[in-house]
Amino acid sequence: MADLEKDFGQLRQKIAQPSFQQNQGLSNEVGYYIFDYDPKDELIVRDNVADIAASSTIATIGADVKVFDLFDIMMTIVDQFGYREGFESIEQDDGMAAVVTQMNNILDMDTERNLIVEHIRKAVENDESTIIFLVGVGKIFPLLRSHKILNTMNQVIDKFPVVMFYPGKYDGVHLKMFGQLEDDNYYRAFGLRMEWNENED
């Protein structure tokens, strides 16, 4: 827990840097970051994320932090279409695999402008300086995969830095949900805690 609190302290310092907010000095064109953590620390992570979002504004650090819960977005869209009860029936009749397929079809997850990305894009399209925090990754698994969201999102949202809070392990290429389940490979994001730990060695 001490290491986690220390890393959140470093995160607070990092997001306050103008170079971070403006995506400067990166080896790729878009500032996408993954803050991985032990799933048992979920409540600590939630509290820290909420605290950062409440205290980090244009007046305090030069940018607003906006938190997007991927599960809440997913269910909002499902409810807008009136599909919640339908998914419950699909799971009972055909199993979770069928639910995963239908969910990804409804949300257009194989397209760049899928409904998850569009929801976030519309929420920040008129912003001048924003940092996007993505949470709820564990809650959407296995219905939606984090690497697919990142892959489509970085094609559409490239103005603001994005930090995904990932309950598992990220080594700069491989994503492991809950530290055990293979999610998929993703190599376009910077592993924040990995970077900080390497700098201490």
Give the H/E segment covering residue 48: helix 42-55
Domain boundaries, the chain: 2-6+29-200
Given the structure tokens 């994001």, which residue do they identify?
189
User: How far apart are the C-alpha atoms of 89 and 43, rounded to whole Å?
Assistant: 31
Considering the segment(s) 2-6+29-200 as one domain, its CATH architecture is 3-Layer(aba) Sandwich (3.40)
Q: Which residues of the chain have pLDDT under 70?
A: 1-2, 24-29, 179-187, 198-201
pTM of structure: 0.90
Given the structure tokens 């499902």, which residue do they identify?
78
User: What integer pLDDT is reported at residue 147 of this predicted model?
Assistant: 83
Could you report the per-residue pLDDT of 117-138, keeping only the tens digit for each? 999 999 999 998 999 999 999 9
Query: Collapsing DSSP states into helix, strand and coil, what is residue 84?
Result: helix
Could you report the per-residue pLDDT of 93-107, keeping only the tens digit for each? 888 899 899 999 999
User: Following DSSP, what letter does each residue of 120-156 receive, concatenated?
Assistant: HHHHHTT-SSEEEEEE-HHHHTTTS-HHHHHHHHHHH
In our burial notation (b when 16+ CB lie closer than 10 A, e otherwise), range 90-109 reads beeeeeeeebbebbbebbeb
